[in-house]
Amino acid sequence: MTDPFRTETGHKSWGRVVEGEHQVARPRRTGAVRDLLHQAGDRGLTALAYGLGRSYGDSNLNPGGALIETRGLDRFIALDVEARVLRAEAGVSFDDILRAIVPHGLFLPTVPGTRYVTLGGAIANDVHGKNHHSAGSFGRHVRSIRLERSDRGIQDVTRETDPELFAATIGGLGLTGIILEAEIDLVPIASAFIDQRTEALTGVDHFFDIAETRAQEHEHTVAWIDCTASGDRLGQGVLSCGDWADEGALTPHPAKAGPALPVDLPGFALNPLTLKTFNLAYRKRQLMKPARARIHYSGFFHPLDSVRDWNRLYGARGFYQYQSVIGFETAREATRAMLTRIAASGLGSFLAVLKTFGEYAPEGVLSFPKQGATLALDFANTGEHTLSLMADLDRIVAEAGGRLYPAKDGRMSAGMFKAGYPDWTRVEAMRDPLLSSQFWRRVTDD
Amino acid sequence: MTDQNRKILVLGALSAMARESARVQAGKGASLYLVGRDGEALRAEADDLRVRGAGTVDTLAMDLTDTIQTDTILANASAALGGLDTILLFYGVLGDQAGAETDPGEAARIMDVTYTSAAQWVLAGARHLEAGAKSRGVLMTASSVAGDRGRRSNFVYGSAKAGLSVLMQGLAHKWGGLDDAPRAVNLKLGFVDTPMTSDVEKGGPLWASPEDIAAIVDRAIEKSGPTVYAPWFWRFIMLAVRATPHFIFKRVNL
Ligand SMILES: Cc1cc2nc3c(=O)[nH]c(=O)nc-3n(C[C@H](O)[C@H](O)[C@H](O)COP(=O)(O)OP(=O)(O)OC[C@H]3O[C@@H](n4cnc5c(N)ncnc54)[C@H](O)[C@@H]3O)c2cc1C
């Protein structure tokens, strides 16, 4: 028999900063996973599941160990249109799911900013969308999960049968077992179109003044912030809200993604001037659109998916994402402080996103979303400069009692992690002893 | 034809290319009848295809080298599908070239799977489509560029694919001269990244994915000519390969 593991090097996470050598296996049947775990164990390696690699930093990486790529586990198992329940293998992508269910008038209960995530990855990060305030995070809609564990074999886990393992697995960063299959609830839609409302934001206060009201008025809300603006204009941007249109065709998005960015942009292409120009132009373009418009869901939820490999925009050195969430009591001041620091650095990003999370209690032990405001930004990797900016942001977030999103992180300190997720030991207790990631080793090491 | 959904028999339904092709057709509302060896795996594919939008999906687990009952099986498939109009044949075995030169059993295995049985299915399928679907019918086979010129690394397999290609060429010739006849399309595949080629180092512009092939199959079902190189650039590569004089070709390690 040929060796199912191959040695591979290079960038495998979305930010393209972290590199490492992995023993990679690509099973095509869920039944093959058990043996792969045993083989990894026999070689003295730890293992980790890897979906579509859309996490930015190192939570989906395990350098020196094994990676089990789940994309071959991509079969649907059952769709009950009446009951609105879908069961599928963990490597099925949201892209595939939406193409299959939209014609039936069904949609995923919540979707992240890209369709190119797997079902397993969405569970392991308990992903959120623009409708967190009306639907909660993805984990809330998961009915059951089938795990393969090196120590206990196959486990079918629900909130009822094993509440602790279930809560550790939702947002569990892939550490509680390889997810083979999952069953989720779907939601009905009357059309594939969203009625979008676009309005200008004059600054941080404006956002916080209207965010609550807009969240009550609309199912989906998100703001884009020009993070190069400072002074009076600090936090200026565009707020976009949306609701499912009550009539229109049930046409899924097209099968083929758009053109790919063919090469890395040279590092100098991204400098304070180009960033400022881009942000100004972007704001202008957004505000030129009609205040109200009916648009297809793909344009509303997944505008970035129309350019494949856009992560190469940041050049060969890659980039970091930084996403925080801060409770409402301190969010306004902390957001102002972060934006001030970022504008001063000249390191702002193309797309800075600000949104509020609703009052849903976190679904998993390590779920990122909690009530408050979340700010997400990209920073080109310019080495020390970028790291010291993020260290300053860490201080603001920590002081405000906030936390960072592991899916986006490749560098937070153990202290920062443990302060944000004081219950992390519950996941450590439920961890499959064979599974680990670079992220986990970093943030749990003292 | 878009107003009427296709009714497709897939022979060798568990190959990576067959799976992707079936998914594309399911998404367009086709009904499918899947034949392959592993019954449990076929059932999993059938479940998947139903969710992706297929009409009906039925499965039959059998060894395709058993060709005694081809006509009965085709009739059963047609009954299950409510009239069969499209046959896609995807199976074959690369085998071990060195083994085939020393072990008659290995040679026989490669030839039986890749040519002898495949040819029986093609002939039975042709009978069936001539009698039934007529001009709506499509018979498509997945052959290989390995059949265009024998080379030392795989000429037993290549000879079997050459046989299949000539059979399909003849069928296309026959049908091309008739009114209201089905269409025969033979794909000549280059390098495809599948489990069959898992021991080969991959990557580079010559390698196609099963998804790429599924898109070519989709076009072949609707309108392609009798011979389709997949992807298209293999037509020119093979033109050059066939035109290379023996005294040069013999030095090339292929
Ligand atoms: C453009 C863009 C926009 C984004 N927008 C959002 C957003 O709006 N909201 C949001 O929440 N996130 C967002 N993300 C992040 C993304 O949704 C998450 O990182 C998601 O988990 C990625 O899924 P993946 O399949 O690529 O998983 P990977 O990144 O490959 O892996 C993520 C984690 O899941 C684990 N995992 C994967 N498969 C399995 C399995 N079968 N069993 C067990 N564990 C598994 C891995 O071990 C790892 O810990 C965005 C990312 C991008 C690139």
Identify any residues that bridge with A22 across adjacent strands, giving them in sequence order.
A8
Asked if the model's pLDDT at residue B3 lies above 50, the reply is no
pLDDT at residue A129 in the model:
97
pLDDT at residue A131 in the model:
98
> Is B15 domain-assigned?
yes
pLDDT at residue A311 in the model:
80
> Is B254 domain-assigned?
no
Average confidence (pLDDT) over B198-210: 74
A439 in Cβ contact with A173 (< 8 Å): yes
Asked if the model's pLDDT at residue A257 lies above 70, the reply is no
Report helix, strand or coil for A357.
strand
Asked if the model's pLDDT at residue A376 lies above 80, the reply is yes
Percent of chain A past pLDDT 90, that is, above it, reads: 78
> Is B219 domain-assigned?
yes
Tokens of B96: 């071990």
- Does ligand 1 lie within 6 Å of residue A323's CB atom? no
B216 in Cβ contact with B225 (< 8 Å): no
A144 in Cβ contact with A158 (< 8 Å): yes
pLDDT at residue B199 in the model:
61
* Mean pLDDT for chain B overall: 92
Taking the CA of residue B24 and the nearest CA in chain A, the distance in Å comes to: 10
Helix axes B70-81, B118-131, angle to 10 degrees: 50
B144 in Cβ contact with B158 (< 8 Å): yes
Alpha carbon distances (Å) from A213 to A48, A217, A294, A356: 42, 6, 21, 11
Residue B229's pLDDT band, with cuts at 50, 70 and 90, is very high
CA distance B40 to A224: 49
pLDDT digits (tens, 9 = 90+) for A267-297: 666 677 777 887 888 888 888 777 899 999 9
By C-alpha distance, the chain A residue nearest B43 is A77
Asked if the model's pLDDT at residue B1 lies above 60, the reply is no
Of all atoms in ligand 1, which is nearest to the CA of residue A73? Answer: 41
Structural domain containing residue B85: 3-249
CA distance A272 to A229: 11
Please tell me the distance between residue A117's alpha carbon and the centre of ligand 1 in angstroms. Answer: 6
- Does ligand 1 lie within 6 Å of residue A174's CB atom? yes
Give me the phi and psi of B166, to 5 degrees please: -65, -40
Q: Do B47 and A77 touch (CB under 8 A)?
A: yes
pLDDT at residue A267 in the model:
63
CATH number of residue B157's parent domain? 3.40.50.720
By C-alpha distance, the chain A residue nearest B26 is A100
pLDDT digits (tens, 9 = 90+) for A196-208: 999 999 999 999 9
For residue A93, list chain B residues with Cβ-Cβ distance below 8 A: none
Domains and CATH numbers, chain A: 193-410 (3.40.462.10)
Q: Is A252 left (phi over 0), alpha (psi -120 to 50) or beta?
A: beta
Report helix, strand or coil for B65.
coil
Give me the phi and psi of A99, to 5 degrees please: -65, -35
Residue A305's pLDDT band, with cuts at 50, 70 and 90, is confident
CA distance A299 to A130: 13
Q: Do A76 and B48 touch (CB under 8 A)?
A: yes
Q: Considering its fold, how many domains does chain B have in total?
A: 1
Give me the phi and psi of B164, to 5 degrees please: -60, -40
pLDDT digits (tens, 9 = 90+) for A178-190: 999 999 999 999 9
User: Within 13 Å, how many C-alpha atoms sit on residue B2's CB side?
Assistant: 3
B157 is a catalytic site residue: yes
pLDDT digits (tens, 9 = 90+) for B97-119: 999 999 999 999 999 999 999 99
Give me the phi and psi of B142, to 5 degrees please: -100, 100
Average confidence (pLDDT) over B64-78: 96
Q: Is the dihedral of CA A385, A391, A395, A400 positive or negative?
A: positive
CA distance B147 to B30: 31
For residue A103, list chain B residues with Cβ-Cβ distance below 8 A: 53
Percent of chain A past pLDDT 70, that is, above it, reads: 96
Percent of chain B past pLDDT 70, that is, above it, reads: 96
pLDDT at residue A301 in the model:
95
Please tell me the distance between residue A169's alpha carbon and the centre of ligand 1 in angstroms. Answer: 14
Report helix, strand or coil for A336.
helix
- Does ligand 1 lie within 6 Å of residue A121's CB atom? yes
Buried b (16+ CB within 10 A) or exposed e, B26-61: bbeebbbbbbbeeeebbebbbbbbbbbbbbebbbbe
Asked if the model's pLDDT at residue B234 lies above 50, the reply is yes
Higher pLDDT residue, B161 or A445? B161
Taking the CA of residue A81 and the nearest CA in chain B, the distance in Å comes to: 10
pLDDT at residue A286 in the model:
80
B115 in Cβ contact with B99 (< 8 Å): no
Mode of pairing for the β-strands spanning A237-244 and A372-380: unpaired
Find which of A294-298, A317-321, B228-232 is predicted with most confidence, using mean pLDDT: A294-298
pLDDT at residue A437 in the model:
97
By C-alpha distance, the chain B residue nearest A75 is B48
pLDDT at residue B2 in the model:
45
Q: Of B91, B115, B157, B229, which is the active-site residue?
A: B157
Tokens of A217: 């008025």
User: Within 13 Å, how many C-alpha atoms sit on residue A109's CB side?
Assistant: 25
Which range is least confidently modeled, A274-283, A352-361, B12-21, B54-63?
A274-283
Which residue's CA is the closest to the ligand 1 atom numbered 22? A54
Higher pLDDT residue, A333 or B4? A333
> Is B109 domain-assigned?
yes
Higher pLDDT residue, A124 or A309? A124
A176 in Cβ contact with A165 (< 8 Å): yes
* Mean pLDDT for chain A overall: 93
A171 in Cβ contact with A138 (< 8 Å): no
pLDDT digits (tens, 9 = 90+) for A216-225: 999 999 999 9
> Is B173 domain-assigned?
yes
Average confidence (pLDDT) over B181-194: 92
Q: Is the dihedral of CA B229, B231, B236, B238 positive or negative?
A: negative
pLDDT at residue A281 in the model:
81
Q: Do A28 and B195 touch (CB under 8 A)?
A: yes
**Owner of token pair 């999960």:** A145
To which H or E segment does residue A217 belong?
A: helix A204-217
ipTM over 0.90: no
Residue B179's pLDDT band, with cuts at 50, 70 and 90, is very high
